Amino acid sequence: MTRFLHTGDWQLGMTRHFFSEGVQERFAQSRFDAIRKLGSIAKEEDCRFMVVCGDVFESNLIDRKTVFRALEALKDVLIPVYLLPGNHDPLNAASVYRSSTFLERKPPHVHVIEDMIPIKVDEGIEIVGVPWSSKRPLQDLVAMAITPLESVVDTVRVCVAHGMVDSISPNPDDPAAISLHAAEMAISQNKIHYLALGDRHSLTQVGNTGRIWYAGSPEQTDYNEVKSGFAIVVDLDREKVATREVNVGAWRFIERKRVDMNTKEDIESLKRWLEEIDDKERTVVKLRLVGTLSLLFHDQLEELFVYISEILGALETRTEELVVIPEDADFADFGFSGFASRTVVRLRSNAQDAGPHGIKARDALTLLVRLAGKAQ
């Protein structure tokens, strides 16, 4: 029985536009920390080696600093690590794996899979890698790699690949989609015994053999990921396979696609929900607000967002469907009867406009309410 750690899609160097500079750095650091955590898991679990199934780097054109930090983190992983070039970091002319920075500092136990020739990892253990050499392959590279293989009798063979399996691919016409049938056939023919996949950021089993898995990204990168932040500890021999997910990630992306916002209670409720989030500084929240608010409540909501966005990793709000309408209550304490009062009447009339003029008028009214409070 051979035990190894299956991971992928580290996406080192990834940035997110909604992060402020400081948070971006925190987010980047977490990904390097994840490498070390994977290293310690591998050690704890007594894994023989680690396979990283593509997209180790976010791009081939990343900063040297990112490569340095990645290799520095990899030094702390004490078992052989096999890195597979994926669609983000293909083995092309600009490949990060061929850069002097990488080559000069690469620790000896770190290997880059550069072709499809089986690599002997240890006695009775082989890896067949399927590296990407361009961003847009025009055929099923996995099928190309495993079809010509001979069946093995005394070796356990792990195929390390990257890309979407046709059965779950959103684009069934993709010529590069990995044929599940071909893979399962190769497994049944003892050509390979496990297909370690990368590309999908959520931990996913494919097919029924129990031998084809996506490990997912060790750190969540987006809202739509179902189960990211994991790696898989694989126990494998020719007869059986056992997989076990291990939690690695620290970041969470939460999206609420509809938050009704009409009353003070709605604001309070949202406030409570936000305050109850654990580990806020590694949580990214996206809210789509729907409803109608008075100037006063809108002001309060804005205040809440100002406060909470300072605490969260990031807060994204979509307010296209949130309408701010000046209400009588907004001017209840206004107390003016002269030209100020006539100004309010005029602006409120303009605020009825559904277009940009209306927004401008509502903004002006909000400002008026704020300054009126100050004046009084």
Tell me which residues touch another protein (CB under 8 A): 13, 15-17, 19-20, 24, 58-67, 92-94, 96, 99-101, 134, 335-343, 346-347, 359-361, 363-368, 371-372, 374-376
Closer to another protein by Cβ: residue 257 or 370: 370
Closer to another protein by Cβ: residue 67 or 196: 67
The sign of the torsion formed by the CA atoms of 79, 84, 86, 89 equals positive
- Residue carrying structure tokens 């494919």: 206
Closer to another protein by Cβ: residue 148 or 338: 338
Closest CA to 221 of 22, 3, 1, 24: 24
Q: Give the DSSP letter of residue 165.
A: B
One DSSP character per residue, 178-232 reads BPHHHHHHHHHTTS-SEEEEES-SS-EE-SSSS-EEE---SS--STT-SS-SEEE
CB of 7 to another protein, least distance (A): 21
Name the phi and psi angles at 216, rounded to 5: 80, 175
Q: Which amino acid does the sequence have at 33?
A: D
CB of 102 to another protein, least distance (A): 9
Q: Give the DSSP letter of residue 327.
A: -
- Residue carrying structure tokens 């401008």: 360
Q: Which amino acid does the sequence have at 365?
A: L
- Is 353 within 8 Å of 346 (Cβ atoms)? no
- Is 210 within 8 Å of 243 (Cβ atoms)? yes
Closer to another protein by Cβ: residue 14 or 81: 14
Closer to another protein by Cβ: residue 202 or 350: 350
d(CA 117, CA 108): 20
Closer to another protein by Cβ: residue 42 or 141: 141
What token pair was written down for 267? 């604001």
CB of 267 to another protein, least distance (A): 21
Closer to another protein by Cβ: residue 19 or 273: 19
Closer to another protein by Cβ: residue 165 or 296: 296
d(CA 296, CA 303): 11
CB of 314 to another protein, least distance (A): 11
Closer to another protein by Cβ: residue 191 or 362: 362
Residue 319: which H helix or E strand, with range?
strand 314-324
CB of 307 to another protein, least distance (A): 17
CB of 357 to another protein, least distance (A): 9
Q: Give the DSSP letter of residue 282.
A: G
CB of 46 to another protein, least distance (A): 36
Closer to another protein by Cβ: residue 59 or 147: 59
d(CA 195, CA 44): 23
- Is 247 within 8 Å of 229 (Cβ atoms)? yes
Q: Where are the beta strands (DSSP E) in 142-181?
A: 156-162
CB of 23 to another protein, least distance (A): 11
What token pair was written down for 376? 């009084």
CB of 286 to another protein, least distance (A): 15
CB of 271 to another protein, least distance (A): 22
Cβ neighbours, 10 Å, residue 292:
15
